[in-house]
Amino acid sequence: MTAVEGITSFDPPRRVLMGPGPSDVHQRVLDAMARPTIGHLDPEFVRMMDELKELLRYAFQTENRVTFPVSGPGSVGMETCFVNLVEPGDKVLVCRNGAFGGRQLENVERTGGVPVVVDDDWGTPISLDRVEWAFDAHPDIRVVSFVHAETSTGVGSNAEAIATIAHAHGALVIADTVTSLGGIPVMVDEWGLDAVYSGSQKCLSCTPGLSPVTFGEAALDKVKARKTKCQSWFMDLNLVLPYWEGGARTYHHTAPINPLYGLHEALLMLTEEGLEAAWRRHAELHDILVEGLEGLGLSMYVEAPYRLPQLNLVSVPEGVDDAWVRAEALRRYDLELGNGLGVLAGKVWRIGLMGTSCTQANVDLCLDALGTLVSEAAAK
Protein backbone atom coordinates (compact mmCIF):
# COMPACT_ATOMS: atom_id res chain seq x y z
CA MET A 1 0.00 0.00 0.00
CA THR A 2 1.34 3.47 -0.81
CA ALA A 3 1.52 5.80 2.15
CA VAL A 4 0.43 9.41 2.04
CA GLU A 5 3.31 11.57 3.16
CA GLY A 6 3.96 15.22 3.78
CA ILE A 7 0.36 16.24 4.35
CA THR A 8 -0.55 17.98 7.58
CA SER A 9 -3.73 19.72 8.80
CA PHE A 10 -4.87 22.46 6.45
CA ASP A 11 -4.37 25.89 7.95
CA PRO A 12 -5.83 28.49 5.62
CA PRO A 13 -4.53 32.05 5.62
CA ARG A 14 -6.79 34.73 7.04
CA ARG A 15 -8.12 36.70 4.08
CA VAL A 16 -10.44 39.64 3.75
CA LEU A 17 -13.09 38.47 1.32
CA MET A 18 -14.25 41.32 -0.91
CA GLY A 19 -15.04 39.39 -4.03
CA PRO A 20 -18.44 38.21 -5.27
CA GLY A 21 -18.73 35.67 -2.45
CA PRO A 22 -18.06 33.91 -0.22
CA SER A 23 -17.92 36.81 2.22
CA ASP A 24 -16.10 36.88 5.55
CA VAL A 25 -17.63 34.49 8.07
CA HIS A 26 -17.98 35.92 11.56
CA GLN A 27 -16.21 34.07 14.38
CA ARG A 28 -19.60 33.52 16.05
CA VAL A 29 -20.72 31.53 13.01
CA LEU A 30 -17.48 29.54 12.88
CA ASP A 31 -17.77 28.81 16.60
CA ALA A 32 -21.36 27.65 16.14
CA MET A 33 -20.22 25.23 13.46
CA ALA A 34 -17.61 23.77 15.80
CA ARG A 35 -20.25 22.63 18.31
CA PRO A 36 -20.89 18.90 18.80
CA THR A 37 -22.46 17.08 15.91
CA ILE A 38 -25.75 15.47 16.90
CA GLY A 39 -28.09 13.24 14.95
CA HIS A 40 -30.16 14.74 12.14
CA LEU A 41 -33.34 13.38 13.77
CA ASP A 42 -32.34 14.27 17.34
CA PRO A 43 -35.24 16.22 18.92
CA GLU A 44 -32.83 19.05 19.77
CA PHE A 45 -31.73 19.24 16.14
CA VAL A 46 -35.35 19.28 14.98
CA ARG A 47 -36.01 22.15 17.36
CA MET A 48 -33.07 24.04 15.81
CA MET A 49 -34.46 23.30 12.31
CA ASP A 50 -37.78 24.87 13.26
CA GLU A 51 -36.00 27.99 14.52
CA LEU A 52 -33.98 28.08 11.32
CA LYS A 53 -37.16 28.13 9.23
CA GLU A 54 -38.50 30.98 11.38
CA LEU A 55 -35.27 32.94 10.99
CA LEU A 56 -35.35 32.43 7.23
CA ARG A 57 -38.95 33.66 7.08
CA TYR A 58 -37.71 36.85 8.68
CA ALA A 59 -34.83 37.19 6.20
CA PHE A 60 -37.18 36.59 3.25
CA GLN A 61 -39.99 38.66 4.83
CA THR A 62 -42.50 35.91 4.26
CA GLU A 63 -45.10 33.85 6.04
CA ASN A 64 -44.52 30.98 3.61
CA ARG A 65 -44.77 27.67 5.45
CA VAL A 66 -42.36 26.05 3.00
CA THR A 67 -39.19 27.99 3.76
CA PHE A 68 -36.04 26.03 4.48
CA PRO A 69 -32.37 25.70 3.52
CA VAL A 70 -31.69 23.20 0.76
CA SER A 71 -28.61 21.08 1.47
CA GLY A 72 -26.39 22.33 -1.30
CA PRO A 73 -25.04 25.59 -2.69
CA GLY A 74 -27.16 28.26 -4.40
CA SER A 75 -27.08 26.23 -7.60
CA VAL A 76 -28.99 23.44 -5.85
CA GLY A 77 -31.59 25.91 -4.61
CA MET A 78 -31.89 27.13 -8.19
CA GLU A 79 -32.40 23.62 -9.51
CA THR A 80 -34.89 22.89 -6.72
CA CYS A 81 -37.07 25.73 -7.98
CA PHE A 82 -36.83 24.72 -11.64
CA VAL A 83 -37.24 20.96 -11.31
CA ASN A 84 -40.29 21.37 -9.10
CA LEU A 85 -42.04 24.19 -10.97
CA VAL A 86 -41.22 23.42 -14.58
CA GLU A 87 -42.74 20.41 -16.27
CA PRO A 88 -41.77 19.24 -19.74
CA GLY A 89 -43.54 21.46 -22.27
CA ASP A 90 -44.08 24.42 -19.88
CA LYS A 91 -43.21 27.72 -21.48
CA VAL A 92 -40.78 29.66 -19.28
CA LEU A 93 -39.69 33.24 -19.79
CA VAL A 94 -36.08 33.68 -18.76
CA CYS A 95 -34.98 37.28 -18.26
CA ARG A 96 -31.23 37.24 -18.87
CA ASN A 97 -28.98 40.20 -18.15
CA GLY A 98 -25.88 38.34 -16.99
CA ALA A 99 -24.25 34.98 -16.37
CA PHE A 100 -26.68 33.72 -13.74
CA GLY A 101 -29.71 34.34 -15.96
CA GLY A 102 -27.88 32.09 -18.44
CA ARG A 103 -27.81 29.36 -15.82
CA GLN A 104 -31.56 29.69 -15.36
CA LEU A 105 -31.94 29.12 -19.08
CA GLU A 106 -29.83 25.94 -18.77
CA ASN A 107 -32.18 24.78 -16.04
CA VAL A 108 -35.27 25.36 -18.17
CA GLU A 109 -33.74 23.43 -21.07
CA ARG A 110 -32.70 20.54 -18.84
CA THR A 111 -36.13 20.25 -17.23
CA GLY A 112 -37.74 20.01 -20.67
CA GLY A 113 -39.35 23.44 -20.44
CA VAL A 114 -39.76 25.58 -23.55
CA PRO A 115 -37.66 28.70 -22.99
CA VAL A 116 -38.49 32.18 -24.20
CA VAL A 117 -35.54 34.47 -23.54
CA VAL A 118 -35.46 38.23 -23.15
CA ASP A 119 -31.91 39.49 -23.22
CA ASP A 120 -30.72 42.75 -21.76
CA ASP A 121 -27.20 44.07 -22.04
CA TRP A 122 -24.79 43.12 -19.29
CA GLY A 123 -24.64 46.08 -16.92
CA THR A 124 -28.29 47.05 -17.38
CA PRO A 125 -31.38 45.91 -15.48
CA ILE A 126 -34.11 43.67 -16.87
CA SER A 127 -36.33 45.72 -19.15
CA LEU A 128 -39.95 45.60 -18.02
CA ASP A 129 -41.09 46.52 -21.53
CA ARG A 130 -39.37 43.46 -22.94
CA VAL A 131 -41.09 41.29 -20.32
CA GLU A 132 -44.47 42.73 -21.41
CA TRP A 133 -43.63 42.19 -25.07
CA ALA A 134 -42.68 38.58 -24.40
CA PHE A 135 -46.17 37.99 -22.98
CA ASP A 136 -47.73 39.70 -26.02
CA ALA A 137 -45.90 37.24 -28.24
CA HIS A 138 -46.31 34.22 -25.94
CA PRO A 139 -49.48 34.50 -23.80
CA ASP A 140 -48.98 30.86 -22.74
CA ILE A 141 -45.86 31.57 -20.64
CA ARG A 142 -46.38 29.71 -17.35
CA VAL A 143 -43.31 30.76 -15.38
CA VAL A 144 -41.02 33.82 -15.41
CA SER A 145 -37.51 33.56 -14.00
CA PHE A 146 -35.02 36.29 -13.27
CA VAL A 147 -32.03 37.20 -11.15
CA HIS A 148 -32.79 39.96 -8.67
CA ALA A 149 -29.13 40.89 -8.09
CA GLU A 150 -26.90 39.82 -11.01
CA THR A 151 -23.57 38.94 -9.47
CA SER A 152 -21.82 38.95 -12.84
CA THR A 153 -22.70 42.59 -13.49
CA GLY A 154 -23.50 44.20 -10.13
CA VAL A 155 -26.97 45.22 -11.35
CA GLY A 156 -30.25 45.07 -9.44
CA SER A 157 -33.57 44.57 -11.25
CA ASN A 158 -37.09 45.47 -10.17
CA ALA A 159 -38.34 42.17 -8.76
CA GLU A 160 -41.71 43.53 -7.68
CA ALA A 161 -42.50 44.94 -11.12
CA ILE A 162 -41.50 41.72 -12.88
CA ALA A 163 -43.71 39.72 -10.51
CA THR A 164 -46.62 42.09 -11.11
CA ILE A 165 -46.38 41.64 -14.88
CA ALA A 166 -46.06 37.87 -14.56
CA HIS A 167 -49.09 37.60 -12.28
CA ALA A 168 -51.18 39.83 -14.54
CA HIS A 169 -50.63 37.15 -17.19
CA GLY A 170 -51.26 34.20 -14.86
CA ALA A 171 -47.60 33.14 -14.64
CA LEU A 172 -45.54 32.29 -11.57
CA VAL A 173 -42.15 33.80 -10.83
CA ILE A 174 -38.89 32.17 -9.82
CA ALA A 175 -36.51 34.73 -8.32
CA ASP A 176 -32.78 34.32 -7.73
CA THR A 177 -31.90 36.24 -4.57
CA VAL A 178 -28.51 34.64 -3.99
CA THR A 179 -26.70 37.97 -3.85
CA SER A 180 -29.59 40.15 -2.68
CA LEU A 181 -30.83 38.43 0.48
CA GLY A 182 -29.66 40.35 3.54
CA GLY A 183 -27.98 43.11 1.50
CA ILE A 184 -30.94 44.88 -0.10
CA PRO A 185 -34.69 44.44 0.46
CA VAL A 186 -36.13 41.09 -0.61
CA MET A 187 -39.85 41.29 0.24
CA VAL A 188 -41.16 37.89 -0.78
CA ASP A 189 -44.77 38.35 0.34
CA GLU A 190 -45.15 42.04 -0.46
CA TRP A 191 -43.76 41.54 -3.96
CA GLY A 192 -45.55 38.24 -4.53
CA LEU A 193 -42.48 36.15 -5.41
CA ASP A 194 -43.67 32.56 -5.82
CA ALA A 195 -40.45 30.56 -5.63
CA VAL A 196 -37.23 32.07 -4.38
CA TYR A 197 -33.75 30.70 -3.86
CA SER A 198 -30.70 32.22 -2.21
CA GLY A 199 -27.26 31.29 -0.92
CA SER A 200 -25.67 31.16 2.50
CA GLN A 201 -22.32 32.67 1.54
CA LYS A 202 -23.09 36.18 0.34
CA CYS A 203 -24.89 38.80 2.47
CA LEU A 204 -25.85 36.18 5.07
CA SER A 205 -22.14 35.53 5.64
CA CYS A 206 -22.40 31.88 6.50
CA THR A 207 -20.10 29.34 4.90
CA PRO A 208 -21.00 28.29 1.34
CA GLY A 209 -23.04 25.17 0.70
CA LEU A 210 -26.60 25.95 1.83
CA SER A 211 -29.39 27.43 -0.21
CA PRO A 212 -32.37 28.99 1.54
CA VAL A 213 -35.55 28.62 -0.50
CA THR A 214 -39.15 29.67 -0.02
CA PHE A 215 -42.29 28.63 -1.89
CA GLY A 216 -45.67 30.35 -1.81
CA GLU A 217 -49.05 28.62 -2.04
CA ALA A 218 -49.47 29.20 -5.81
CA ALA A 219 -46.10 27.56 -6.44
CA LEU A 220 -47.00 24.63 -4.17
CA ASP A 221 -50.32 24.23 -6.03
CA LYS A 222 -48.37 23.92 -9.27
CA VAL A 223 -46.12 21.31 -7.69
CA LYS A 224 -49.20 19.38 -6.47
CA ALA A 225 -50.83 19.55 -9.90
CA ARG A 226 -47.81 18.09 -11.74
CA LYS A 227 -48.62 15.40 -14.26
CA THR A 228 -45.05 14.14 -14.39
CA LYS A 229 -42.65 13.07 -11.67
CA CYS A 230 -40.07 15.66 -10.61
CA GLN A 231 -36.89 14.77 -12.56
CA SER A 232 -34.74 14.95 -9.45
CA TRP A 233 -35.11 12.55 -6.57
CA PHE A 234 -32.99 14.68 -4.21
CA MET A 235 -34.75 17.96 -4.94
CA ASP A 236 -38.34 16.70 -5.18
CA LEU A 237 -40.20 18.85 -2.63
CA ASN A 238 -42.69 16.07 -1.99
CA LEU A 239 -39.86 13.88 -0.74
CA VAL A 240 -37.69 16.38 1.12
CA LEU A 241 -40.45 18.25 2.97
CA PRO A 242 -41.41 15.42 5.33
CA TYR A 243 -37.91 15.89 6.76
CA TRP A 244 -38.31 19.64 7.19
CA GLU A 245 -41.88 19.81 8.47
CA GLY A 246 -44.61 17.93 10.32
CA GLY A 247 -44.74 16.24 13.70
CA ALA A 248 -42.85 13.06 12.83
CA ARG A 249 -39.81 13.88 10.73
CA THR A 250 -38.68 11.22 8.32
CA TYR A 251 -35.24 10.57 6.93
CA HIS A 252 -34.62 11.94 3.45
CA HIS A 253 -30.89 12.62 3.42
CA THR A 254 -28.40 13.22 6.21
CA ALA A 255 -28.57 16.96 6.73
CA PRO A 256 -25.32 19.00 6.85
CA ILE A 257 -25.69 19.36 10.59
CA ASN A 258 -22.85 21.69 11.57
CA PRO A 259 -23.24 24.04 8.59
CA LEU A 260 -26.90 24.38 9.60
CA TYR A 261 -25.77 25.47 13.09
CA GLY A 262 -23.71 28.09 11.27
CA LEU A 263 -26.66 29.34 9.24
CA HIS A 264 -28.78 29.49 12.38
CA GLU A 265 -26.15 31.70 14.02
CA ALA A 266 -25.67 33.91 10.94
CA LEU A 267 -29.42 34.49 10.71
CA LEU A 268 -29.61 35.15 14.42
CA MET A 269 -26.98 37.86 13.94
CA LEU A 270 -29.08 39.32 11.14
CA THR A 271 -32.11 39.52 13.42
CA GLU A 272 -29.98 41.14 16.13
CA GLU A 273 -28.82 43.83 13.72
CA GLY A 274 -32.24 44.07 12.08
CA LEU A 275 -32.86 43.77 8.34
CA GLU A 276 -33.35 47.48 7.82
CA ALA A 277 -30.14 48.31 9.65
CA ALA A 278 -28.29 45.71 7.56
CA TRP A 279 -29.64 47.19 4.31
CA ARG A 280 -28.66 50.66 5.53
CA ARG A 281 -25.12 49.52 6.41
CA HIS A 282 -24.67 48.09 2.90
CA ALA A 283 -26.00 51.26 1.28
CA GLU A 284 -23.88 53.63 3.38
CA LEU A 285 -20.62 51.76 2.96
CA HIS A 286 -21.29 51.40 -0.76
CA ASP A 287 -21.52 55.19 -1.00
CA ILE A 288 -18.25 55.60 0.88
CA LEU A 289 -16.55 52.99 -1.32
CA VAL A 290 -17.77 54.60 -4.54
CA GLU A 291 -16.63 58.03 -3.40
CA GLY A 292 -13.21 56.61 -2.54
CA LEU A 293 -12.86 54.73 -5.83
CA GLU A 294 -13.83 57.78 -7.82
CA GLY A 295 -11.35 59.76 -5.75
CA LEU A 296 -8.66 57.35 -6.98
CA GLY A 297 -9.69 58.16 -10.55
CA LEU A 298 -11.47 54.84 -11.04
CA SER A 299 -14.91 54.63 -12.60
CA MET A 300 -17.91 52.48 -11.78
CA TYR A 301 -19.13 50.18 -14.52
CA VAL A 302 -22.85 50.35 -13.72
CA GLU A 303 -24.98 53.50 -13.81
CA ALA A 304 -25.80 54.77 -10.32
CA PRO A 305 -29.54 53.91 -10.16
CA TYR A 306 -28.93 50.23 -10.96
CA ARG A 307 -25.89 49.59 -8.76
CA LEU A 308 -25.98 46.93 -6.09
CA PRO A 309 -24.47 48.21 -2.85
CA GLN A 310 -23.16 44.75 -2.03
CA LEU A 311 -21.39 44.16 -5.36
CA ASN A 312 -19.49 46.96 -7.01
CA LEU A 313 -18.12 46.72 -10.53
CA VAL A 314 -15.15 48.96 -11.21
CA SER A 315 -13.71 49.37 -14.70
CA VAL A 316 -10.08 48.29 -14.99
CA PRO A 317 -8.22 51.35 -16.30
CA GLU A 318 -6.66 51.19 -19.75
CA GLY A 319 -3.20 49.60 -19.64
CA VAL A 320 -3.65 48.10 -16.15
CA ASP A 321 -3.20 44.34 -15.79
CA ASP A 322 -6.34 43.19 -13.99
CA ALA A 323 -4.93 39.82 -12.89
CA TRP A 324 -1.69 41.35 -11.55
CA VAL A 325 -3.61 43.79 -9.35
CA ARG A 326 -5.81 41.03 -7.92
CA ALA A 327 -2.83 38.72 -7.33
CA GLU A 328 -0.89 41.47 -5.55
CA ALA A 329 -3.93 42.44 -3.47
CA LEU A 330 -4.06 38.86 -2.25
CA ARG A 331 -0.31 38.54 -1.73
CA ARG A 332 0.35 41.88 -0.05
CA TYR A 333 -2.94 42.72 1.61
CA ASP A 334 -4.59 39.31 2.06
CA LEU A 335 -7.44 40.92 0.18
CA GLU A 336 -9.58 38.97 -2.26
CA LEU A 337 -11.15 41.00 -5.07
CA GLY A 338 -13.31 39.49 -7.80
CA ASN A 339 -12.54 39.21 -11.49
CA GLY A 340 -14.91 39.97 -14.34
CA LEU A 341 -17.02 37.11 -15.64
CA GLY A 342 -17.81 36.20 -19.25
CA VAL A 343 -17.79 39.26 -21.53
CA LEU A 344 -16.49 41.36 -18.62
CA ALA A 345 -13.38 39.20 -18.01
CA GLY A 346 -10.33 41.48 -17.74
CA LYS A 347 -12.51 44.59 -17.95
CA VAL A 348 -13.81 44.97 -14.39
CA TRP A 349 -13.08 44.15 -10.80
CA ARG A 350 -15.98 42.98 -8.69
CA ILE A 351 -15.76 44.35 -5.17
CA GLY A 352 -18.08 42.69 -2.71
CA LEU A 353 -19.39 44.47 0.37
CA MET A 354 -21.42 41.57 1.63
CA GLY A 355 -22.61 40.84 5.15
CA THR A 356 -19.71 40.56 7.58
CA SER A 357 -17.33 41.87 4.90
CA CYS A 358 -19.28 45.13 4.71
CA THR A 359 -17.29 47.25 7.17
CA GLN A 360 -15.56 50.61 7.14
CA ALA A 361 -12.22 48.88 7.85
CA ASN A 362 -12.62 46.74 4.73
CA VAL A 363 -13.55 49.72 2.59
CA ASP A 364 -10.41 51.50 3.85
CA LEU A 365 -8.25 48.45 3.14
CA CYS A 366 -9.64 48.08 -0.35
CA LEU A 367 -9.09 51.75 -1.20
CA ASP A 368 -5.58 51.63 0.21
CA ALA A 369 -4.73 48.50 -1.80
CA LEU A 370 -6.23 49.71 -5.07
CA GLY A 371 -4.69 53.17 -4.68
CA THR A 372 -1.22 51.65 -4.42
CA LEU A 373 -1.57 48.78 -6.86
CA VAL A 374 -3.34 50.62 -9.67
CA SER A 375 -0.69 53.36 -9.76
CA GLU A 376 2.09 50.75 -9.69
CA ALA A 377 0.40 48.80 -12.48
CA ALA A 378 -0.11 51.93 -14.57
CA ALA A 379 3.57 52.84 -14.21
CA LYS A 380 4.77 49.39 -15.38
Ligand X SMILES: Cc1ncc(COP(=O)(O)O)c(C=O)c1O
Q: Which of residues 271-290 bind ligand X (CB under 6 A)?
A: none
Nearest residue (CB) to ligand X, 100 versus 244? 100
Contacts of 93 (CB under 8 A, 6+ apart): 115, 116, 117, 118, 131, 134, 135, 138, 141, 143, 144, 145, 166, 171
Count of positions on this chain that bind ligand X (CB under 6 A): 14
Rounded least distance, CB 17 to ligand X, Å? 13
Q: Which of residues 102-121 bind ligand X (CB under 6 A)?
A: none
Rounded least distance, CB 150 to ligand X, Å? 6
Rounded least distance, CB 23 to ligand X, Å? 11
* Range in contact with ligand X (rule: CB under 6 A) among 24-32, 69-77, 88-96, 136-144: 69-77
Q: Out of 59, 134, 175, 178, which residue is the one contacting ligand X (CB under 6 A)?
A: 178
* CA dist., res. 37 & res. 45, Å (int): 10
Q: Is the distance from CB of 198 to CB of 205 less than 8 angstroms?
A: no
Rounded to 5 degrees, φ, ψ at 39 are: -70, 150
Q: Is the distance from CB of 324 to CB of 262 less than 8 angstroms?
A: no
Q: Which residues pair with 352 in a beta bridge?
A: 311
DSSP state of 175: E
Rounded to 5 degrees, φ, ψ at 4 are: -100, 120
* Range in contact with ligand X (rule: CB under 6 A) among 53-61, 67-75, 86-94, 348-356: 67-75
Q: Which of residues 119-158 bind ligand X (CB under 6 A)?
A: 147, 151
Q: Out of 113, 199, 259, 309, which residue is the one contacting ligand X (CB under 6 A)?
A: 199
Burial of 117 (0-12, 13-18, 19+ CB in 10 A): middle
Single-letter amino acid code for the residue at 198 = S
Rounded least distance, CB 156 to ligand X, Å? 11
Q: Out of 100, 244, 279, 301, which residue is the one contacting ligand X (CB under 6 A)?
A: 100
Nearest residue (CB) to ligand X, 52 versus 210? 210
Rounded least distance, CB 236 to ligand X, Å? 19
- Cα–Cα nearest to 123, from 158, 94, 99: 99
Q: Which of residues 157-176 bind ligand X (CB under 6 A)?
A: 176
DSSP state of 90: -
Nearest residue (CB) to ligand X, 115 versus 183? 183
Residues found near ligand X in the complex (CB under 6 A): 20-21, 73-75, 78, 100, 147, 151, 176, 178-179, 199, 208
